[in-house]
């Protein structure tokens, strides 16, 4: 038990230390941050993000965030840069250089080479008075008083601070660019996240059957239609293919609990009028929201002329990973 208490105490201390350090970054934000954002926004080239050690790991994540939110970016390892990868930097590119100390040997070699090419440098450093800080065009102060490591050696709090400043840059640029959900979907076409942003109802129903009966169809025909189309539901439509009602397999069970004399019954007798519907061009996520809000498993689909065109079942959304 004592060991468990110690583990939790250490975890809480680590989180508290890092959260306090991140909150303190607000006090370091100044005109340099604002000007850096504006420069990236107006730059004709890409953002090259570089660093060494753990800062290089942070740089790769910042690059990924930039690319996914509309700011073209490339990672360049600081050590590799001085052994050939410097060719990654093009004329109109801006370079973000990440270093806690700002005085590592690789940084001292790399920075003058970048400046000789007349590319602007944005420094993310915990030491604005360092070599990097003094030679950068824009300085973002990532200073932290202490690493979470009790020896104050392992990059922990400092790398978290670097990451947060990178996120702050990306979010500011995202908002200034007017980056929308549709833009996000364009860069995230794969997986459940992308599908939530681009998948439409029309994509869900294209392989589904089209169960439907008329008002005067006998219950036996209704049961057969629901069973054969395997969606647990059928629409009740008129001659013009407009929706008049809906019958689910639950409606059939409830009817049979009341009576077994079904010979005289028709679809009209057991259908639910004015069922929930959704347009074929609606987003799949909107279909999910409607199903959840109304605690139902299926929803009927109409086209722009209000003609009945299909059924979305909860299983369709599960299959696509939306739910």
pLDDT of residue 4: 73
User: Does 217 lie in the same domain as 125?
Assistant: no
User: Is residue 189 in a domain?
Assistant: no
pLDDT of residue 188: 67
User: Does 139 lie in the same domain as 9?
Assistant: yes
User: Does 214 lie in the same domain as 175?
Assistant: no
User: Does 267 lie in the same domain as 123?
Assistant: no
* Domain end call among 144, 179, 214: 179
Give the distance from CA 283 to its chain's centroid.
16
Ranges of beta strands (E only) in the chain are 47-51, 73-77, 94-99, 121-125, 138-141, 212-213, 233-237, 243-248, 272-273, 277-279, 298-302, 308-313
Q: What is the DSSP string of 148-162?
A: SSTTS-SSSHHHHHH
Helix (H, G, I), strand (E, B) or coil at 207: coil
pLDDT of residue 140: 98
User: Does 121 lie in the same domain as 248?
Assistant: no
pLDDT of residue 2: 60
User: Does 68 lie in the same domain as 12?
Assistant: yes
pLDDT of residue 1: 47
User: Does 223 lie in the same domain as 131?
Assistant: no
* Residue-range definition of the domain harbouring residue 175: 2-179
Whole-number Å distance between alpha carbons of 9 and 16: 10
Report the CATH number at residue 16: 3.40.50.10490
User: Does 115 lie in the same domain as 10?
Assistant: yes
User: Does 175 lie in the same domain as 57?
Assistant: yes
User: Is residue 74 in a domain?
Assistant: yes
User: Is residue 56 in a domain?
Assistant: yes
User: Is residue 125 in a domain?
Assistant: yes
Residue for token pair 């219950």: 219
Contact predicate 106/135, CB 8 Å: no
Written as six digits, the tokens of 302 are 């109409």
User: Does 106 lie in the same domain as 26?
Assistant: yes
Running DSSP on this structure, what letter comes out for residue 278?
A: E
User: Is residue 195 in a domain?
Assistant: no
User: Is residue 273 in a domain?
Assistant: yes
Report the CATH number at residue 295: 3.10.580.10
> Can you list the residues of the chain whose pLDDT is less than 70?
1-2, 185, 188-194, 323
> Number of structural domains, the chain?
2
- The pTM of the full predicted model, rounded to 2 decimals, is 0.70
* Domain end call among 109, 144, 179: 179
Closest Cα partner for 125 from 117, 135, 115?
Answer: 135
User: Does 315 lie in the same domain as 224?
Assistant: yes
User: Does 250 lie in the same domain as 142?
Assistant: no
Ranges of beta strands (E only) in 52-158 are 73-77, 94-99, 121-125, 138-141
Sheet with strand 94-99: strands edge to edge: 73-77, 47-51, 94-99, 121-125, 138-141
């Amino acid at each position: 038990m004592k060991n468990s208490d110690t583990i939790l105490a250490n975890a809480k201390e680590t989180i508290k230390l890092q959260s306090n350090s991140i909150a303190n970054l607000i006090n370091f934000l100044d005109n340099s941050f604002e000007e850096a954002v504006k420069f990236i926004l107006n730059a004709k080239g890409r953002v090259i993000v570089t660093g060494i050690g753990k800062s290089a790991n942070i740089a790769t994540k910042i690059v990924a965030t930039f690319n996914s939110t509309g700011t073209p970016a490339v990672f360049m390892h600081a050590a590799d840069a001085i052994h050939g990868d410097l060719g990654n930097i093009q004329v109109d590119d801006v370079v973000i250089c990440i270093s806690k100390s700002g005085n590592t040997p690789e940084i001292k070699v790399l920075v003058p080479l970048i400046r000789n090419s007349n590319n602007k440098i944005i420094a993310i450093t915990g030491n604005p008075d360092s070599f990097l800080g003094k030679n950068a065009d824009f300085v973002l102060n990532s200073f932290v008083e202490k690493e979470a490591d009790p020896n104050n050696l392992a990059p922990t709090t400092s790398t978290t601070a670097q990451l947060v400043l990178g996120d702050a840059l990306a979010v500011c640029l995202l908002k200034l660019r007017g980056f929308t959900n549709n833009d996000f979907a364009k860069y995230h076409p794969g997986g459940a996240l992308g599908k939530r942003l681009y998948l439409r109802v029309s994509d869900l129903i294209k392989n589904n059957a089209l169960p439907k009966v008329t008002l005067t169809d006998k219950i036996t025909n209704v049961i057969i239609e629901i069973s054969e189309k395997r969606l647990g539901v059928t629409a009740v439509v008129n001659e013009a293919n407009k929706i008049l009602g809906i019958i689910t397999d639950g409606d059939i069970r409830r009817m049979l609990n009341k009576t077994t004399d079904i010979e005289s019954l028709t679809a009209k007798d057991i259908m639910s009028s004015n069922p929930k519907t959704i347009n074929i061009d609606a987003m799949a996520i909107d279909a999910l929201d409607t199903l959840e809000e109304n605690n139902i498993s299926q929803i009927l689909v109409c086209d722009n002329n209000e003609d009945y065109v299909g059924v979305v079942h909860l299983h369709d959304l599960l299959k696509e990973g939306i739910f």
